[in-house]
Structure 1
Amino acid sequence: MNEQTKNNIWTKSFVIIFLSNFFLFLVFYALLTTLPIYVLDELNGSETQAGLVATIFLLSAIIVRPFSGKLLEDFGKKKMLMISMLLFMASSFLYLIVDHLYLLLALRFFHGIWFSIATTATGAIAADLVPDSRRGEGLGYFAMSMNIAVVVGPFIGLTLLQVTTFNNLFWVLSVLMVGAIVFTALVHDPIVEKSAKRKLSLNDLFERKALPVAAVASLIAFGYAAVLSFISIYAKSLGLMEAASYFYAIFAAAMLISRPFVGRLFDKVGPNIVIYPAIGLFAAGLFVLSITNSSMLLFLSALLIGLGYGTLVPCLQTLAIQSAGRGRSAHATATFFTLFDIGVATGSYLLGLIATNFGYQQLYITTGIIVIAVLFVYRLMMKKRREAEEKNYKAVKIG
């Protein structure tokens, strides 16, 4: 095996896990977009109840995520990925027979469990597959599977609702999950050795070395909740609902265009060269949202947020995995997304209070300030990380 082949990212196994993750997130985003409408139109629920279909899904993911690293370690990443994808697919079919709000909420909780385990497994396997020297670039490419799904999923869901029924929509999404199962069956995880089973400990729930990076990611997720949860409502209040349909397309395009050279910079120069500017771009996009009164400003904010936020998540995830080491990739991934999900969940609730009491403009100003504050938190974290590395180096040298 020559050096070029050894350092190749786009291997057959990487493409397969990329496609498996893409279909998983496609169904996730399609349901996330359409189920609130289903609650309002088909189940005669309230807007608060419509919001619960996303909240309870996220809640189950937060509860289960810390345990997923241990499950992957004990039973194997490939095996747990296959089980969780099969049960995620089964849950997708169950939407066809659920016709009551409380049954729907119970299904969403059940569905979220398998989403949590499956996404931890796909992220950990992708981290195992990419070469160490190109991990930032490789995980950046892997994140494109989610970036594309955030556009394709809502597009499929909302387009189908214009021409057919919810029942047919659920059939289509369930069949798409069958495709995901096919790809999952072909997944190969290069790291197959497992440690002996032992009693559950704190180390099995969280990767302590990844916690500082995950905490930074949680703050970024808190700011992103303002976009994820409120951008459509904000655009509607401004009379820009038609323009809002293009927001996520520009958002995703910005992430995809920047991804190749951002990942290379991360690997060759280091994380700071991309993370500091990305934080600034994300904050700038939120500030632009706070003064938006036209389609052009809305599109500009999508571009800035796509470049900033789209760079931060894969880069911070790479840092979390690097801090833990290859053998703990599943635990680091679980820890990262646990705190990330907590950031989104708390952000959606607390920022909703700000929007209700002070308006959406104040909401985006507040989140812009919070993201700017992340600059200083990240700098402090990297300083302590560097000091710890120097201390370990001296200890090894003396020893």
Structure 2
Amino acid sequence: MTTICEIATTEPLLTGRFGRLLAMVFGSGLSMYLLTSVVPLYLAANGSGGVGAGLSTAAMMFSAVAVELLVPRMLARWGYRVVLGLGLVLLGAPSLVLLASASLPVVLAVCIVRGAGLAILVVGAVALVADLTPSTRRGEALGVYGVAVGVPAVIGLPLGVYLTNVIGFGALFVLAAVASLAGLIALAGLPDQVSTEEQHVKVLGGVRKSGLLMPTLVFAAVTVAAGISVTFLPLAVAGDKHSLVATALLLQAIAAPAARWLAGRYADRMGPAKLLAPALILAAVGAGSLVFLPSPLAILLGSACFGIGFGAAQNLTLTLMYNRVDRSRYGQVSALWNLAYDGGWGAGALVFGAIVGGTGFPIAFALTAAVVALAVVPAVRASLT
């Protein structure tokens, strides 16, 4: 006899609307990752140095953090299609401005606008994943979404660095704009209005009581290291080793979505809290391996380990947060998780850029690993409760 549980777990996951969402996410992710490591290189090549590189990443991510607080209210008022369309335009179109100027103020302004677009897309898309897929397969659905987000990183992070010497910065800026704007085509099949059940728009309201604070802070610790690695690894390795950096970024980008998907499948069976501490330990080991720069082995193994830990932590923290709230707080969960992502990413790049000149790259990377390691403590406590 077929049980209710068996029926629930066979509910279709990859529907037409979910597929359109994944296509849009892929294009916008490619737009972001093509320029993630390239913009710091662009600034460094034009005299802005490591401080400018850190500022560019921080400007984009802090802009995203500010706008993410507003996205649940925007979704409630204007619906998914209008808001996501705005995000695609803000993320893609400003890349073309970089064709005209490499001055630090102009580049930072572009990063700020693109950060606003990124905020809209990531919060809206993650909330829509929970809305379009069965709750009994939420971990797996978030894992599939993680692959759609991660594949552009696999392509964009190493390809962007590699192509700077092949087609130049200008062609990359155009490609990044087209990748995001092409996602407008996928909006036609997505839901228009947010359901009345999803009207909780106070992002920071009731965070501690709802159990969302711990996974938010733990994930922020991991994203600190993520922002540092993609921003400063190309600068930390000698300029004639771009192929090594591209390979390391490729390994990290492949490992993250694979781990995110696998973590989602096992989280549905075992519970996300039990898997979170091991994921953080792997991430800390990966970040700490960069202490041994410029060893190619340390760079490659560290990038792979960090990618696995980071990818798993992405899924586990998000699944844990969704499991602790009802449907009315899905938008809040999406906003909080993305605040941790972008806030940690931006803060890490900004602080690292400020201190690396005085400490050198090995010590700065050691401090980064320590931040991730500290997050293991609350993760272990969560697994025991």
TM-score, scaled to structure 1: 0.83
Q: Does 1:151 align with 2:186?
A: no
What aligned pairs does 1:237-316 form with structure 2 within 5 A after superposition? Answer: 241-292=242-293, 294-316=295-317
Q: Does 1:3 align with 2:7?
A: yes
Q: Distance in 2 between matches of 1:7 and 1:124?
A: 19
Q: Tell whether the 8 Å contact from 1:70 to 1:331 is kept in structure 2 after alignment.
A: no
Q: Tell whether the 8 Å contact from 1:211 to 1:336 is kept in structure 2 after alignment.
A: no
Q: What displacement does 1:247 show?
A: 0.4
Q: What displacement does 1:129 show?
A: 1.8
- Equivalent in the alignment of 2:236: 234
Distance 1:48 1:71, change over 3 A: same
Length, aligned pairs only: 377
- Equivalent in the alignment of 1:361: 362
What aligned pairs does 1:30-69 form with structure 2 within 5 A after superposition? Answer: 30-41=34-45, 45-69=48-72
Q: Distance in 1 between matches of 2:197 and 2:327?
A: 14
CA deviation map 1:339-386 (0-9, x unaligned): 332222222233345533333322333333332221212234566xx5
Structure 1 range deviating more: 316-325 or 132-141: 316-325
Q: What displacement does 1:98 show?
A: 4.9
Q: Distance in 2 between matches of 1:109 and 1:320?
A: 28
- Equivalent in the alignment of 1:111: 114
Return the letter of the residue paired with 1:355. V
Q: Distance in 1 between matches of 2:143 and 2:35?
A: 25
Greater C-alpha Rg: 1
- Equivalent in the alignment of 1:325: 326
Return the letter of the residue paired with 1:72. L
- Equivalent in the alignment of 2:185: 182
Return the letter of the residue paired with 1:39. L
Match for 2:87 among 75, 80, 84? 84
Q: Tell whether the 8 Å contact from 1:226 to 1:348 is kept in structure 2 after alignment.
A: yes
- Equivalent in the alignment of 2:171: 168
Distance 1:240 1:294, change over 3 A: farther
Q: Distance in 2 between matches of 1:196 and 1:131?
A: 16
Aligned residues with identical type, % of pairs: 23
Q: Secondary structure at the match of 1:91?
A: helix
Q: What displacement does 1:50 show?
A: 4.0
Q: Distance in 2 between matches of 1:186 and 1:98?
A: 37
Structure 1 range deviating more: 296-305 or 87-96: 87-96
Distance 1:27 1:342, change over 3 A: same
Q: Secondary structure at the match of 2:165?
A: helix
Return the letter of the residue paired with 1:23. G
Q: Secondary structure at the match of 1:26?
A: helix
Q: Distance in 1 between matches of 2:12 and 2:170?
A: 43
Return the letter of the residue paired with 1:270. G
- Equivalent in the alignment of 2:3: none
Gaps of 5+ in 2: 1-5
Match for 1:72 among 59, 72, 75? 75
Gaps of 5+ in 1: 387-399
Query: For the aligned residues, what is the CA RMSD?
Result: 2.9
Distance 1:355 1:37, change over 3 A: closer
- Equivalent in the alignment of 1:392: none
Distance 1:300 1:49, change over 3 A: closer
Distance 1:134 1:195, change over 3 A: closer
Q: What displacement does 1:66 show?
A: 1.0
Structure 1 range deviating more: 78-87 or 210-219: 78-87
Q: Distance in 1 between matches of 2:334 and 2:310?
A: 18
Q: Does 1:211 align with 2:213?
A: yes
Q: Tell whether the 8 Å contact from 1:73 to 1:195 is kept in structure 2 after alignment.
A: no
